Structure 1
């Protein structure tokens, strides 16, 4: 009995489906702190995709990737900030998220790679601070 080699498109879909299951599993098992880390990762991945689409002059895909990043920052990260408990720090964080969103919109409007880079650097810095101060990896018990 022999099997035909799967087409490249089928293989890509299979890998994509497998990756999606992995992400869903990680989300379902994540602590609230780690969910924020996953949002950072998703926003940064969308920005990296936008950069690739920008280099390839794929305007529609660039716009979709930037829209995804904006959505993650605006409805995920920004909405997760507790303004009551966070005080001035929370307000400052929201301001930085607004700056990131503004840079993403300008990057899309003007096909501006520097605005994408700035948004990604800001997210990187906030993400690193979050990971080292809040979402600290706990050693496994194995």
Structure 2
């Protein structure tokens, strides 16, 4: 099947925009991009599962698993991260297990569970942006 020139141009633009975002991102932004891609992949898997598109479901779940394993989990600093890193490692391992089960069993509830587990982590990550060297640090005086 042929794709329109517009569709090919949009796809090329999206690839270039994604590559540019990754190349110009700081480490915090890279993790943010990983979370965005993870949530999008899980949503894509849900849609593919609902449509009965097994190939697209498998590809989307495979991408989500790779993002967790090769991006989020591999980026944890187990030695300096303490309890938080250990908890995230367990959460990521459990999420990979549930994604694998979702794929094998065609289980939309497993996808939904991972989505509900990862959304708050992704949102929390967005809230902890570290200030740049040129940006002043704001100190709260609540309770002082």
8 Å contact from structure 1 (residues 43, 69) kept in 2: yes
Residues 54-133 of structure 1 aligned to structure 2 (within 5 Å)? 54-133=49-128
In the TM superposition, residue 136 of structure 1 has moved relative to its aligned partner by: 7.2
In the TM superposition, residue 120 of structure 1 has moved relative to its aligned partner by: 1.1
In the TM superposition, residue 112 of structure 1 has moved relative to its aligned partner by: 0.7
In the TM superposition, residue 135 of structure 1 has moved relative to its aligned partner by: 5.8
Aligned to 1:47: 42
Aligned to 1:4: none
- Closer/same/farther in 2, CA of residues 68 and 136 from structure 1, 3 Å limit: farther
8 Å contact from structure 1 (residues 27, 35) kept in 2: yes
* Deviation per residue, 1:89-109 (Å, 9 max, x gap): 111110000111111011111
Unaligned runs of 5+ in 2: 136-144
Alpha-carbon distance in 2 for matches of 1:69, 1:118: 14
Alpha-carbon distance in 2 for matches of 1:42, 1:136: 24
* Deviation per residue, 1:35-81 (Å, 9 max, x gap): 00000011111111111110110111100110000000011000001
Aligned length, in residue pairs: 132
In the TM superposition, residue 12 of structure 1 has moved relative to its aligned partner by: 1.4
RMSD across aligned positions (CA): 1.8
* Deviation per residue, 1:102-125 (Å, 9 max, x gap): 110111111111110111111111
Aligned to 2:10: 15
Alpha-carbon distance in 2 for matches of 1:67, 1:38: 17
- Closer/same/farther in 2, CA of residues 136 and 34 from structure 1, 3 Å limit: farther
Alpha-carbon distance in 2 for matches of 1:50, 1:91: 28
Aligned to 1:29: 24
Unaligned runs of 5+ in 1: 1-6
Q: Normalized against structure 1, the TM-score is what?
A: 0.87
Runs of 4+ in 1 over 3 A off after TM superposition: 134-137
